[in-house]
Structure 1
Amino acid sequence: YMDCIKLQQLGINNVVATMGTALTSEQARLLKRYCEKVLLLYDGDEAGQRETIRALEIMGNEGLKMSVVSLPMGEDPDDYIEKHGKEELLRYIQNNKLSNIEFKINRYLSQKKELNLESQIGAINYLREDIGQLNSELEKDYYIKVLARKLKIEENIVYRELKKRERDISGIKRNKSKIIRDNIKYVNYGINERILAAMFKKPELFEYIKSRIGLEFLEEGDLRVLAGIYEKLKDNNHDGRLERLGLLANQQGFGSAFARMALLMEEESLPGDMEIKRFIRQVERKEEELAWKNQFYRLKDLDSEGNFYSFLRFILNLNSFLNDIQEGGKR
């Protein structure tokens, strides 16, 4: 909050700080009551840049118009004013202010080691939703030109790629409607499907469940394939990651399975925290039971073999096995 106080003291008004906490949707809605345009001025370090991206998503969802200024690495507003003064800060803001889309383009490309085909496609996918939500065709045209220049490709290629994505999404939506009409069995979802849909809807839940019980609980089949595809996608934008999952699923012949998941993600009755915890514990118990059975069968084999040293190794390994079970570490 010292940044906010310092700016106010020097006559730079209408400044707010999040008081050391991450920006929330409630705070963004409160800002919307008093203004329509927001200038984001976070610290210049990596944490500040990550929080800027997050704040852009939250404020964009509330309908605020945003611009961004990135301070030099390692400096915050308080430091900058102490070193350079108020007028220089205002000049820096004026000369370095970027729209939210331009900032996201620069941020995305700065994280890539080289500008290759994969990073070019990834950048277009990453910005597709932002550009598509613009109401003005002039604005869309402007940012397509900016993106083409940054990616060093022709404008018409960017334009065609964006339009292609729109057609693909429409196709997925039509596929979803067809499933509703023609497949009454899709009304009934198994627990594995409901858990996976919740995982797709919340990336942090996907990582949590994977860290606890892995993805083997899905067994083999369409769900396991979809989870495997999703796991390999590294798109920071959640909607972009789901869109790419849908496109890849269609290409690999799993379009119906993805559409089924997409329908389920729209349901209000996805598993809550308690149901997910019970499910995880059930899977862990099954794994423990299977592990104990394997130990029992191994012991029977050793009894038949009559090899003392093999039996001794089994006893020594059993201690490690018991520790794994007690700590919930047996997978």
Structure 2
Amino acid sequence: WDYRGKVVAFGGRVMGDELPKYLNSPETLIFNKSQNLYGINLAATDIRKCDEAIIVEGYMDVVAARQFGINNTVASLGTSLTPDQGRLLKRYTSHVLISYDADTAGAKAAFRGLEILDNLGFRVRVLTLPNGLDPDEFLHRYNGKAWMQLMQNRAESFLEYRLHVAVAKHNIKTIEGKADVVKELLPVISRIKSQVEKDQYIKFIARHLDISQESIYAELDRKMGYLQNADNFIRGKHTNNTRFQVNEVIQRDRRDAYTIAQKSLCRLMIEDRETFDRVEKVLGFDFTDMPVLADVLRFVKKIYADFDWHPSTLVEKVDDAKLRQSVAELLLEEIPGEDREMLIRDYIKMIQLHKLKKRIKEIQAIIHDQEKKNLTSETITLLQEYTKLQQQVQQLKN
């Protein structure tokens, strides 16, 4: 169902361990799984009553939750949460508890979902279930009362969860490990608007890492100017006619944001196979209007099968002196931000917006010319394309 209770598609879950775990109807004009939340039509009243929504991964998790009286539960249709789903949920509450499956894929999906919800202004909690159980398994093994107790005693705030994830990645017995954890959390801390809340979280982090609060404040003060500039840039507040000051980050002249996006995205692509595949799938290689970058990407594609994604290897494999120089210069590019995943998403969005707006201008010029010649049928076709492109631009901005 959609949020109005209208049937829009069918979905199922395998009974065993086969993949894919979930199968949905193909997407249509009335069904886009990234814009729907399973069970939202049933849960809406309870979500408003509780002023909190519980987001789980699959259909059976929602079914089990309702069997045990936990009626403010919805599922993200077996996918990681999307901004559209977050905005749909925002109609009913600004508080969310997310509890995805405890496997690796579930943990990654939860992490991505947290970022999206936090950016949309939700108050987010995370519930990690014990013994690798998913919500369906936990509820049937224990009961709804045990779930409620776990929510009250074990649910973590967004920053607490981020802290524990960071601690698991770094050795906090060393000074370097503690510094790495603080560095990873700085962008999250900087986004907290309430000074009281910020102070409490800094106190919590300092106690957990056995460091002084003053050291965290010092790092935050040192980074705030840079982080604010980076945040302004990646959120698209700069247009093709404005400039972004990067002299504190790299020894370069001022360059327009679109050029930075192209170069930085290419830099991220040539150092990580997954990023390379992802951007190629979404944008292709023709997204850049800089021939030198397109040449580098085509070369990486040529050696793709034998490339180990080490920068030194890439330079060694280039025979052409001019191309080798281009690769070396690209590898020297500094990335203006610390959250690589967020940067990749925003670079892609910026480039998509640039291409859409460029095409819109082309259509406007053609329509203006055709109106003089009374070419009605062609004008209507172009107007339809123009309207569609404007809608795509608005979706990207949202």
TM range, normalised to the smaller chain? 0.5 to 0.7
- In the TM superposition, residue 66 of structure 1 has moved relative to its aligned partner by 0.5
2:267 is aligned with 1:161:
no
Is the CA contact (8 Å cut-off) linking 2:187 and 2:227 kept in structure 1?
A: no
Separation in 1, partners of 2:85, 2:353: 28
Aligned match for 1:53, one of 108, 111, 115: 111
Separation in 1, partners of 2:84, 2:122: 13
Give the corresponding residue for 2:264. 197
Letter in 2 for 1:138: V
Is the CA contact (8 Å cut-off) linking 2:103 and 2:132 kept in structure 1?
A: yes
| Structure with larger RCO (C-alpha < 8 A, sep 6+) | 1
Is the CA contact (8 Å cut-off) linking 2:261 and 2:351 kept in structure 1?
A: no
Separation in 2, partners of 1:46, 1:105: 18
Aligned match for 2:121, one of 60, 63, 70: 63
Give the corresponding residue for 1:223. 329
Separation in 1, partners of 2:76, 2:342: 28
3-state SS of paired residue (2:113): helix
- In the TM superposition, residue 188 of structure 1 has moved relative to its aligned partner by 12
Separation in 2, partners of 1:86, 1:33: 26
Aligned match for 1:39, one of 85, 88, 97: 97
- In the TM superposition, residue 52 of structure 1 has moved relative to its aligned partner by 1.2
Give the corresponding residue for 1:290. none
Separation in 2, partners of 1:57, 1:32: 15
Is the CA contact (8 Å cut-off) linking 2:267 and 2:330 kept in structure 1?
A: no
Aligned match for 1:137, one of 173, 176, 195: 195
Going from structure 1 to structure 2, the CA distance change for 1:187 and 1:49 (only over 3 Å counts) comes to: closer
Give the corresponding residue for 1:74. 132
Counterparts of 1:76-91 in structure 2, within 5 Å, are 76-91=134-149
Deviation per residue, 1:63-119 (Å, 9 max, x gap)? 211111100132011111111111111111110011000011001111234532332
- In the TM superposition, residue 167 of structure 1 has moved relative to its aligned partner by 3.6
Identity over the aligned pairs, expressed in percent? 28
Give the corresponding residue for 2:340. 238
The range that moved more, 87-96 or 41-50, is: 41-50
Could you tell me which runs of 5 or more consecutive residues in structure 1 were left unpaired when the two chains were aligned.
Answer: 243-261, 273-331
Letter in 2 for 1:198: L
Letter in 2 for 1:144: I
Give the corresponding residue for 1:175. 245
Separation in 1, partners of 2:71, 2:143: 16
Deviation per residue, 1:20-54 (Å, 9 max, x gap)? 12211111111111111000111223222221111
Could you tell me which runs of 5 or more consecutive residues in structure 2 were left unpaired when the two chains were aligned.
Answer: 1-58, 234-243, 279-296, 357-398
Letter in 2 for 1:140: K
Higher CA-based Rg: 1
Letter in 2 for 1:127: L
Is the CA contact (8 Å cut-off) linking 2:80 and 2:109 kept in structure 1?
A: yes
Deviation per residue, 1:112-153 (Å, 9 max, x gap)? 345323322222222112211112111000010111112211
Q: Larger helix proportion, structure 1 or 2?
A: 1
Letter in 1 for 2:264: A
Is the CA contact (8 Å cut-off) linking 1:43 and 1:49 kept in structure 2?
A: yes
3-state SS of paired residue (1:19): coil
Separation in 1, partners of 2:99, 2:75: 10
Deviation per residue, 1:259-280 (Å, 9 max, x gap)? xxx99x96777689xxxxxxxx
Is the CA contact (8 Å cut-off) linking 1:124 and 1:162 kept in structure 2?
A: no
Letter in 1 for 2:98: L
Separation in 2, partners of 1:188, 1:78: 46
Is the CA contact (8 Å cut-off) linking 1:194 and 1:270 kept in structure 2?
A: no
Separation in 1, partners of 2:153, 2:212: 28
Going from structure 1 to structure 2, the CA distance change for 1:188 and 1:47 (only over 3 Å counts) comes to: closer
Aligned residues: 243
Deviation per residue, 1:300-329 (Å, 9 max, x gap)? xxxxxxxxxxxxxxxxxxxxxxxxxxxxxx
Q: What's the Cα RMSD here?
A: 4.0
